[in-house]
Structure 1
Amino acid sequence: MVSERGLAVLRAIVQDYVASREPVGSKSIVDRHAFGVSAATIRNDMALLEEEELIQAPHTSSGRIPTDKGYRVFVDRLSDVRPLSAAQRQAIETFLGESNDLDELLARTVRLIAQLTNQLAVVQVPSFSRTRVRHIELVQLAPDRVLCILITDSGQVEQRLADLGADIDSETLATLRVRLNEAAGGLTMADAAAALSVEIVDADPRFADVYRTIAATIAEQARVQRGERLVVAGAANLVRTEQDFSGSILGVIEAIEEQVVVLRLFGEMAADPHAVAVRIGRENAPYGLGEASIVSSAFSVPGRDVARLGVVGPTRMDYSASMAAVRAVARYLSLQLGEH
């Protein structure tokens, strides 16, 4: 069992190691922190922390660094998530308040988080997986060109041009409009994408290619609406921390680029009861991110599923600052989106 002073020593080790990237020794703890005990007493506390596998010696140095378990204990007992400064809060309101639409707002959000935390930032695009197709409209712009309009029951409108490669008359277009609405109307985005990806039954063979082109266009719109993707910024921040990883950071970068890895992690973190969720090091090993930590928080958009934003970086992370920034931006984002 670790004593309260032992936990305070662990806290000091985490803070000093995050700040300096150097192993922390008992003398430096005595010099930097007001424990009021000797270096020998601190060494005894450190020995107990090492027995509990909360700290370890990285090499022959007398200093110690936190383990993943140590970071977890530190984060779980973190009671003073530093609030953002007035200037930082004002920057959030000003920078995000200038956005004109959701895509721009998310792009600004991810850049802002990267700047506030000096980590790689990710924002999940809010999905419409529970939203249903209300209507599909086709507007003929030219004999071989059609504007496909997808309207959802939440009022979202998505438009895309389809170059058909062949002329289509208004009567055939009207028939196709009916068939598309019969096939996808009332379905969720996922089901609509699946329904429109299959061959249209009894399609006029003269316009089979045209049907497929329009159906594929609408299906792609539905897939985009589901929002299973991320907006990412701050890759340079991750590269600057490469020495915090024992091997190459290529695996981390590949996992971020694949997106599905982070989306699956976000899916698990969504069940976390706390406002800010943290996954540390080996907790992420099944996803190929065993040397990385993720800090995330949820935000909501009316008519869409709850989504998450956060940062990805090395386990040697300023958790307090990262948690404060992620929490503040998520709260502001929900407020901003709720008003619009």
Structure 2
Amino acid sequence: MLDDRKLSVLNAIVTDYVASREPVGSKALVERHKLDVSAATVRNDMAALEEEGYITQPHTSAGRIPTDKGYRLFVDKLAQIKPLSQAERSAIATFMSGTADINDLVMRTVRLLAQLTRQVAIMQYPVAQRSSIRHIDLVSLGGDRVLAIAVSSTGAVDQTMVEAPIAADALATLRARLVAAAVGRTPAEAAAALPGVLESLAPESRAEAAPLVAGVLEALAHEPALQVVVAGVPNLASSVFETGMRPLLEALEEQVVLMRLLGEAAGDDITVRIGQENTTQGFHSTSLVAAGYGVDLGSSLGVVGPTRMDYPSTIAAVRAVARYVSRFLIEG
């Protein structure tokens, strides 16, 4: 265990290195952080930190830089998450206002996270199994064509074209019964209830209604693809990675890889994985800051960047955006 003074020295090294990208020396620490000890004492503390593996010296006669272990201790010992400024909170509300549907929400969210953190933002689509049916509709397109539409509480819209000759009044009656049976239920519950709608109709009406009920069932059965959306890749241009950028760029193109990476954060308010803690290939020289969002925090969003990251600000931004998205999905 490190004493408070050594923790203060480590915090100062992390803070200065993140800001300057240059190895940090003892004299600079004393001058900038008013540690109330001599440079010699700070050098002794730095030697102890290096021996414990929290910092390292990249070159002879150079200052020190944090290791993954040092960043981990820095994050674990954060007394409090840096609060967002009023301007940042207003920017989130303004950027996210007027969101039209789930696709728009996801795209706005990753762009916003990339701008706030200047890292690569990644976001998993909401877990569909936790959604409910918000709206069911049958829209006549003329002739015998009818569009069966199902809208979930997450804003996802699924539709199926059906060939079914049916009178306008019969279509309106069927639509009302389908709405009563499905809206407010999960897709699975709604699908189980719809056959009962068909059975409730008069025998002579079932034949014309059957293709439309089947169309709604097909729309309900459409599971959104498990997707992860990425934004802010150009932000990597200003970053340096020990293994080079190519493995990371390749990993960012693999949906399965990103789903595995974000899967570790589902259900958690905030997750921080630093360097080699990321077992996923391509991310060994990066840090992931992610948070669960939505019902039961079942989906995840976050940012990926170099281990030399402004952790307090990044954690605050990811947490704030995740909570905003959760409110949008839960409150509708």
Pairwise TM-score range, normalised by the shorter structure: 0.7 to 0.9
Report what 2:36 is aligned to: 36
- Pair 1:157–1:77, CA change in 2 (3 A): closer
Q: Deviations over 1:2-60 (max 9, x none)?
A: 22111110000000000000011111111111111111110110111011100011122
**Which amino acid is 2:59 matched to?**
H
**Where do residues 166-177 of structure 1 align in structure 2 (5 Å cutoff)?**
none
Q: Which residue of 206, 224, 234 corresponds with 1:236?
A: 234
Q: Which moved more, 1:311-320 or 1:258-267?
A: 258-267
Report what 2:45 is aligned to: 45
- Pair 1:52–1:333, CA change in 2 (3 A): same
Report what 2:314 is aligned to: 322
Report what 2:95 is aligned to: 95
Report what 1:3 is aligned to: 3
- Pair 1:121–1:187, CA change in 2 (3 A): closer
The TM-score, its normalising length taken from structure 1, stands at 0.74
Q: Distance in 2 between the 1:188 and 1:101 partners? A: 18
Cα deviation for residue 266 of structure 1 reads 1.9
- Pair 1:136–1:22, CA change in 2 (3 A): same
- Pair 1:131–1:19, CA change in 2 (3 A): closer
**Which amino acid is 1:337 matched to?**
L
**Where do residues 100-115 of structure 1 align in structure 2 (5 Å cutoff)?**
100-115=100-115
Q: Distance in 2 between the 1:121 and 1:323 partners? A: 13
**Where do residues 239-318 of structure 1 align in structure 2 (5 Å cutoff)?**
239-241=237-239, 244-272=240-268, 275-300=269-294, 306-318=298-310
In structure 2, the residue corresponding to 1:285 is in which secondary structure?
coil
Cα deviation for residue 282 of structure 1 reads 0.3
Whether the aligned pair in 2 keeps the contact of 1:130 and 1:305 (CA below 8 Å) is no
Q: Deviations over 1:83-125 (max 9, x none)?
A: 1111111111111112122221221111111111111111211
Cα deviation for residue 240 of structure 1 reads 2.2
Q: Distance in 2 between the 1:332 and 1:157 partners? A: 18
Q: Deviations over 1:168-225 (max 9, x none)?
A: 7869xxxxxxxxxxxxx99978xx9xxxxxxxxxxxxxxxxxxxxx99xx5997242x
The alignment of Structure 1 onto Structure 2 pairs a total of residues equal to 292
In structure 1, the residue corresponding to 2:278 is in which secondary structure?
helix
**Where do residues 153-172 of structure 1 align in structure 2 (5 Å cutoff)?**
158-160=157-159
Q: Distance in 2 between the 1:32 and 1:157 partners? A: 52
Q: Which residue of 317, 326, 332 corresponds with 1:334?
A: 326
Whether the aligned pair in 2 keeps the contact of 1:126 and 1:305 (CA below 8 Å) is no
Whether the aligned pair in 1 keeps the contact of 2:150 and 2:220 (CA below 8 Å) is no
In structure 2, the residue corresponding to 1:28 is in which secondary structure?
helix
Q: Distance in 2 between the 1:337 and 1:287 partners? A: 32
Report what 1:202 is aligned to: none
In structure 1, the residue corresponding to 2:308 is in which secondary structure?
coil
In structure 1, the residue corresponding to 2:95 is in which secondary structure?
helix
Q: Deviations over 1:271-326 (max 9, x none)?
A: 54xx221010000134431001010112215xx97211111000000001100111
Whether the aligned pair in 2 keeps the contact of 1:120 and 1:234 (CA below 8 Å) is yes
Q: Distance in 1 between the 2:278 and 2:154 partners? A: 38
Report what 2:13 is aligned to: 13
**Where do residues 54-73 of structure 1 align in structure 2 (5 Å cutoff)?**
54-73=54-73
- Pair 1:155–1:123, CA change in 2 (3 A): closer
In structure 1, the residue corresponding to 2:315 is in which secondary structure?
helix
- Pair 1:134–1:312, CA change in 2 (3 A): closer
Could you tell me which runs of 5 or more consecutive residues in structure 1 were left unpaired when the two chains were aligned: 172-184, 193-213
Report what 2:173 is aligned to: none
**Where do residues 70-219 of structure 1 align in structure 2 (5 Å cutoff)?**
70-130=70-130, 147=147, 149=149, 158-160=157-159, 218=218
What is the identity percentage for the equivalent residue pairs of Structure 1 and Structure 2?
51
**Which amino acid is 1:106 matched to?**
V
4+ residue segments displaced more than 4 Å: 130-152, 154-157, 168-171, 185-189, 218-221
Q: Distance in 1 between the 2:324 and 2:136 partners? A: 34
The TM-score, its normalising length taken from structure 2, stands at 0.76
Q: Distance in 1 between the 2:131 and 2:331 partners? A: 20
